[in-house]
Structure 1
Amino acid sequence: MPFELWVAFATASLALIVIPGPTVLLVLSYALGQGRRVAVASAMGVGLGDVLAMTASLLGLGALIVTSALAFTVIKWIGGAYLLYLGVNMLRSAGSTQMGDLMRTENVSERKVFSHAFIVTALNPKSIGFFIAFVPHFITPEAALAPQFTVMIATFATLGFLNALCYALLAGSLRKTIAKPRILRNLTRGGGVALIAMSALTVSLKRS
């Protein structure tokens, strides 16, 4: 995978990962409830969940990437529409976002924190939509797919782990500030705007 293409993929991945969504809100919720002690467990769950979700998505995409330009275009528009849908929903729900409504996290073991973070991340539709919408743009069809997929999975999972760890450590230190409704609303609105922007970028990109 060319270095320039990898940098572009890593940048796009990071833009998605930092957007508050089910995974980020889960990590924040646990950190607000139990502090820094669950930071590593939740981050590891996020990282492995990303590995599973991306691997499953890419196995299905592999056959499509080497087919017709029409199939690629259809996937691109579906992915863009899906990201737009998620972004609009986040904007609409921003006013009612409350950290305390997500779950009660007191006295939850680190093993349960890990498993919950893993399941939520693996089933996170935002990540799946990203893989379908963006991954084809960063793949060289004439080259072997397995090495490219391996690099992408490792990159995305590592960034996901580090992002979750940073969120958890930050939330553990700023528990009272982050839990304020105004902060949560702004985070959710920012995530919605970012997803809509990514939707526009998706439909404008051309096949690599």
Structure 2
Amino acid sequence: MRAIVSSRTTLEIGNHGWRGSPSPVGAPPEPVSRGTAGASGICLSPSAGDHRAVGTKGARETRGYRVSGQLLAFVGACLAVIVVPGPDLALLLRNAAVAGRSAAIATATGIMTGNTILAAAAVAGLTALLRASGPLYDVMRLAGAAYLIYLGVRALISLIRKGGPARGAEEAPARPDLHSRHAFRQGLLSNLLNPKVAAFYLALFPQFTLPGMPTLAQHTLLAALFCLLSLIWYVLLIAVLGQVQTWLQRREVQRTITGASAAALITLGTGLAVQN
């Protein structure tokens, strides 16, 4: 269909589409109604697509608020697990006190490696299998308890062997027999068998969901966020320990930290072994 429009012709909307009608020269165009023009005309009123667009935008905003709330709650849970003192912190402080900054760095590296392994297991769904298997979880729990008690007893034996009055010098040299490789292994096993971290991945981790994201992407993002927060915490902690290294080398401070960490490790291990 063709429509020829001249200076003397205006376009009108009718029941049969566009049609030309003459109008006086110079006359203003007739106003076009914004309502429905007709069965075969052009409708200029808001369409259903516009309403769908508005609804989609509102749904996206609501989903964004829910994701933000879940992330904030997850960060709070992470900080509670990371910052609250536990076996990892007790071991790190003990190794920093008795073997210096290099041992503290190796211990923290082992802890972070354990975090990464547990995070990968959670993303792969292995922690869900562990949670569903009662006997397997009991084996892991008892193994963790035994290792914590073992570390605590070793610390106590070391404290008893070095007992007695201080030898003249107020500062004690760092322990040369704790190699960085051993400190790394201690940190790794301590984290893998840490009841706090295990409880986090077994109980808390599955409770957080990010609407609009695939399950694998959700778990990957949350696990990476937990590892990042752990890394920031241990970097800050080692920086602080480096500033007080001279104070940590005092014999009385070493004995106090060793005794406190030994008691904490044994207590945590015993509690983990007898829990239901």
TM-score, normalising length: structure 1:
0.60
Higher RCO structure (Cα 8 Å, ≥6 apart): 1
Q: Which amino acid aligns with 2:70?
A: L
Q: Are 1:120 and 2:190 matched, yes or no? A: yes
* Distance in 2 (alpha carbons) for counterparts of 1:118 and 1:16: 17
Map of 2:104 onto structure 1: 39
Q: Which amino acid aligns with 1:9?
A: F
CA apart distance, 1:52 = 1.0
Map of 2:94 onto structure 1: 29
Map of 1:11 onto structure 2: 76
* Distance in 1 (alpha carbons) for counterparts of 2:154 and 2:240: 15
Q: Which amino acid aligns with 1:114?
A: F
Whether the aligned pair in 1 keeps the contact of 2:116 and 2:227 (CA below 8 Å) is yes
The alignment of Structure 1 onto Structure 2 pairs a total of residues equal to 167
Q: Would you tell me which structure has more strand in proportion to its own residues?
A: 2
Q: Which amino acid aligns with 1:180?
A: T
Identity %: 25
Q: 2:219 aligns with which of 130, 144, 149?
A: 149
Whether the aligned pair in 2 keeps the contact of 1:42 and 1:113 (CA below 8 Å) is yes
Q: 1:128 to 1:137 in 2, by over 3 A?
A: same
What is the CA deviation profile of residues 88-131 of structure 1, one whole-angstrom value per residue up to 9, with x for unaligned ones?
xxxxxxxxx89942868643222222222112112212111112
Q: Are 1:51 and 2:116 matched, yes or no? A: yes
Q: 1:134 to 1:179 in 2, by over 3 A?
A: farther
* Distance in 2 (alpha carbons) for counterparts of 1:15 and 1:133: 14
Q: 1:102 to 1:31 in 2, by over 3 A?
A: farther
TM-score, normalising length: structure 2:
0.47
Partner secondary structure for residue 100 of structure 2: helix
Q: CA RMSD in A?
A: 4.2
Q: 1:142 to 1:162 in 2, by over 3 A?
A: closer
How does 1:1-208 map onto structure 2 within 5 Å?
A: 2-58=67-123, 59-60=125-126, 100-101=155-156, 106-140=176-210, 143-172=213-242, 173=244, 174-175=247-248, 176=250, 177=253, 180=256, 184=260
* Distance in 1 (alpha carbons) for counterparts of 2:187 and 2:217: 27
CA apart distance, 1:30 = 0.9
CA apart distance, 1:20 = 1.5
Larger radius of gyration: 2
What is the CA deviation profile of residues 39-98 of structure 1, one whole-angstrom value per residue up to 9, with x for unaligned ones?
3322221111011123324414568xxxxxxx9xxxxxxxxxx9xxx9xxxxxxxxxx89
* Distance in 2 (alpha carbons) for counterparts of 1:102 and 1:56: 35
Whether the aligned pair in 2 keeps the contact of 1:43 and 1:164 (CA below 8 Å) is yes
* Distance in 2 (alpha carbons) for counterparts of 1:27 and 1:102: 18
* Distance in 1 (alpha carbons) for counterparts of 2:103 and 2:117: 21
| Superposition misfits of 4+ residues, deviation over 6 angstroms | none
Q: Which amino acid aligns with 2:93?
A: L
* Distance in 2 (alpha carbons) for counterparts of 1:170 and 1:100: 23
* Distance in 2 (alpha carbons) for counterparts of 1:145 and 1:127: 21
Partner secondary structure for residue 180 of structure 1: helix
Q: 1:102 to 1:128 in 2, by over 3 A?
A: farther
